[in-house]
Amino acid sequence: MDDSDEAIWQQVLSGDSHAYGLIWRRHHERVFRHHLRLGTPSPEAEDLTAATFLELWRRRSAIRFVDASVLPWLIVTAHNVSRNAGRARRRYRDFLASLPTPTPVSDHADDIAARDDVRLSAIREALATARPADAQLLVMTAVEGFTIREAAFVLGLSESAAKMRLSRLRTSLRAVVPQHPVTEGGA
């Protein structure tokens, strides 16, 4: 039995899909290495190897064999595929370079952060002057989402005592940050 590429290719043309796989297994490493030798990075070389074999399939009826081998055709095609990919990259870079530079626009998040920084600084200062248990009570109810009853239980306070402490602390915080009231449950 003739195991030349040309004989196997006749099987491909007659519809034998396993024969195409045999051609792939014989030559894909050489085509891949050729792409690497041309300076193509490894991940792109894998893609270009696949593109080379796609061209082999696409032009299956016009393949030229040299000494019954398809490898020379694959190497020439790999070289052309690589050159085409390089031209496409250059055109893309040129296109990007031709685009006008965007005008800088201030990020609205910076404005919000600056506003919140002032607010947070004021809140931190007010909490620093509060008793630690009161500050913890406020954080548990306003930030962590605990109810007053849950926070009071965790801190070992009665619910009415926790409400009174929160009321006093909220009053002092409203004096510092009147436009942003602190409410129970993180709202």
Q: DSSP string covering 134-156, please?
A: HHHHHIIIIIS---HHHHHHHHT
The contacts of residue 39 (CB under 8 Å, 6+ apart) are none
Residue 178 has pLDDT above 70, yes or no: no
> Per-residue confidence at 187, pLDDT binned at 50, 70, 90?
very low
> pTM of the prediction?
0.53
Predicted confidence at residue 104, as pLDDT, reads 84
Predicted confidence at residue 82, as pLDDT, reads 94
Determine the Cα–Cα distance for residues 151 and 165; give it in Å rounded to an integer.
12
Cα 4 → chain centroid: 46
Determine the Cα–Cα distance for residues 67 and 64; give it in Å rounded to an integer.
10
pLDDT tens digits, 49-99: 999 999 999 998 888 999 999 999 999 999 999 999 999 999 999 999 999
> Per-residue confidence at 164, pLDDT binned at 50, 70, 90?
very high
Determine the Cα–Cα distance for residues 177 and 171; give it in Å rounded to an integer.
10
Predicted confidence at residue 186, as pLDDT, reads 45
Determine the Cα–Cα distance for residues 153 and 149; give it in Å rounded to an integer.
6
Predicted confidence at residue 121, as pLDDT, reads 74
pLDDT tens digits, 92-146: 999 999 999 888 888 777 777 666 676 677 777 777 888 888 888 888 888 888 9
Residue 180 has pLDDT above 60, yes or no: no
Predicted confidence at residue 115, as pLDDT, reads 67
Mean pLDDT in residue range 141-165: 90
Residue 185 has pLDDT above 60, yes or no: no
Predicted confidence at residue 44, as pLDDT, reads 93
Mean pLDDT in residue range 146-158: 91
Q: Which domains does the chain have, with CATH numbers?
A: 5-98 (1.10.1740.10), 122-186 (1.10.10.10)
67 near 34, Cβ under 8 Å?
no
143 near 134, Cβ under 8 Å?
no
